[in-house]
Amino acid sequence: MPDLVEGREAPIFAAVLAAGRGTRMRSNRAKVLHTLCGVPMVNYVISATRPLAPEKTLVVVGHQSEKVEAVLPKVTEPVLQREQRGTGDAVKVALDAIDEEEGTLLVVNGDGPLISDRTLSGLIRRHRTAGVGATLLVADVPDPTGLGRVSEDAGVVRIVEDKDASEEEKGISLVNLGLYAFELSEIRDALEETGTDNAGGELYLTDALEIIGRRSRAVTYVLENPEEATLVNDRAQLAKAEEIISRQILDSHMRNGVTVRDPNSTHIEAGVEIGRDTIVLPGSLLRGETVVGADCVIGPQSDIRDTVVEDGAAVEHSVSRGARVGAGAWVGPYSYLRAGTVLAAESKVGAYCEVKNTTVGPESKVPHLSYVGDAEIGRDVNLGAGTITANYDGKNKSRTVIEDGVFTGVNTNLIAPIRVGRGAYLGAGSTANKDIPPGKLAVGAPARVIRDSPNSGNSQTPESGRAKKNGPDGTPDEGSGEP
């Protein structure tokens, strides 16, 4: 995109109109707060203005102003329109925050998330090349029904709403998109002349445009990409816009070396990062601040949010929220990693497990049907099927520490706070409510030490060597959980 900043004679100011309720959304939230691929729609518009390097990016807020201000980037300056009295009044509010007398004001709608920096650059270039007081972005559409028609005659640009258009005017295919470039002095003077003698008592920006055209000439700039003309006024248009943005995100990842097996069933939000040669399988959702490394396999049917997945890891048919999956680790199928979970390299959380606020050490396994919460698991540990940490006593949550080389049998209960020493064994069905010394075998409910563990004095269990190997299909071998 050509650089508009170098050598420019006057500054650019951006005014993003984001004060309206958006009643057609039928929502309790302001329209501009609705997200597309994880990003509030108003922030897409703001991002499109950034390459123009505005002196100020003013966001006109009104309905639910505090909530809207909370999502705005720090580069913006919110200005409050106390009463929503039309687009002209919104622009007046923005002008009150600009001290300069000369410059160009770019006016964009907060509900037009598909507009591109390329188009805004072209609009400014057209405006300055023409040397006019105002320039209007228009689109040539095959079906203009319901949209304001635009006519241009001898420097006067006139907009007629569909309901007011004559039969001849309804044949016009150029429509108003509500994006403008104005000279500051021109728009200030025109808004002072614009009246509010209409049914709504509002100040219309379109009236100011016509005044500028009669006084100092206005022109149009025709949009090249019709997709950018999509404005979001209801849920159907929201879905259409999100579909377009989602496709753009997926295309970008695929061009950067990521394989997406079925783009139609895959949803990746705007903030997600993915390394090359990673495969994303059908039905997967990657959201929030998720970062996926190289050579990973995600899915099928995995839902991952705010999670780091390191190189070579796999997350199959699973859900993750605020976790970290180490290099070469395996998750799933049907596992749930909750916030604070950290899986070290080559570890495994297998089928139908839930892990919360827990560190699982290198090469350790939680293979199936387990709940592990508020725990610290060492290296080369094997938890048998159905092992749980009972971390909550009704008032407090306590931690469980499982040292290196521990092996638990099926249906083992560890009642926190508890420490299971290095190389200890717990027999099937045991319930331990006291610390288990290193290198001992404990059984029963409550568990009691009966002798040295099978690998007393050795941090590795008989199963540990086999646990590191993969089965014939390339997935980690399961192991029974029995000593």
Do 188 and 304 sit in the same domain of this protein? Answer: no
Does residue 360 contact residue 382 with C-beta atoms inside 8 Å?
Answer: no
> Model-level pTM?
0.86
Listing DSSP states for 73-95 in one string gives: -TTEEEEE-SS---HHHHHHHHH
Do 187 and 248 sit in the same domain of this protein? Answer: no
The CATH number given to whatever domain includes residue 45 is 3.90.550.10
| Residue 349 resides in a domain | yes
Do 198 and 281 sit in the same domain of this protein? Answer: no
The pLDDT of residue 457 = 54
The pLDDT of residue 85 = 87
| Residue 477 resides in a domain | no
Give the residue from 214, 229, 244 where a domain finishes: 229
What's the structural domain count of the chain?
Answer: 2
Do 143 and 269 sit in the same domain of this protein? Answer: no
| Residue 474 resides in a domain | no
Do 225 and 165 sit in the same domain of this protein? Answer: yes
Tell me, rounded to whole angstroms, the distance of Cα 210 from its chain centroid.
40
| Residue 388 resides in a domain | yes
| Residue 478 resides in a domain | no
First to last CA, the chain: 66
Do 219 and 257 sit in the same domain of this protein? Answer: no
| Residue 192 resides in a domain | yes
Do 241 and 155 sit in the same domain of this protein? Answer: no
Does residue 218 contact residue 133 with C-beta atoms inside 8 Å?
Answer: yes
Do 360 and 330 sit in the same domain of this protein? Answer: yes
| Residue 480 resides in a domain | no
The CATH number given to whatever domain includes residue 432 is 2.160.10.10
The pLDDT of residue 198 = 66
- 483 residues of the chain, pLDDT tens digit each: 334 444 446 899 999 999 998 899 999 999 999 999 999 999 999 999 999 999 999 999 999 999 999 999 999 999 999 988 889 999 999 999 999 999 999 999 999 999 999 999 999 999 999 999 999 999 988 888 777 888 888 788 888 877 778 888 888 888 888 899 999 999 999 999 987 766 667 888 988 998 999 988 999 999 999 899 888 989 999 999 999 999 999 999 999 999 999 999 999 999 999 999 999 999 999 999 999 999 999 999 999 999 999 999 999 999 999 999 999 999 999 999 999 999 999 999 999 999 999 999 999 999 999 999 999 999 999 999 999 999 999 999 999 999 999 999 999 999 999 999 999 999 999 999 999 999 999 999 999 999 998 876 544 444 443 334 444 334 444 444 433
| Residue 479 resides in a domain | no
Do 210 and 309 sit in the same domain of this protein? Answer: no
Give the residue from 229, 251, 278 where a domain finishes: 229
Domain that holds residue 290: 235-467
Query: What is the DSSP pairing of strand 56-61 with strand 12-18?
Result: parallel
Closest CA to 355 of 312, 328, 326: 326
Give the residue from 175, 195, 229 where a domain finishes: 229
Do 263 and 125 sit in the same domain of this protein? Answer: no
Does residue 97 contact residue 71 with C-beta atoms inside 8 Å?
Answer: no
For residue 123, is it left (φ>0), alpha (ψ between -120 and 50) or beta? alpha
* Cβ count within 10 A of residue 154: 7
Do 217 and 239 sit in the same domain of this protein? Answer: no
Do 214 and 323 sit in the same domain of this protein? Answer: no
Q: Is 38 exposed, middle or buried (0-12, 13-18, 19+ CB in 10 A)?
A: buried
Answer yes or no: 368 catalytic. yes
The two structure tokens encoding residue 239: 């879905």
The pLDDT of residue 79 = 97
The pLDDT of residue 199 = 61
* Cβ count within 10 A of residue 146: 9
Catalytic residue (choose from 63, 127, 253, 368):
368
Check the CA dihedral 157-162-168-171 and report its sign.
positive
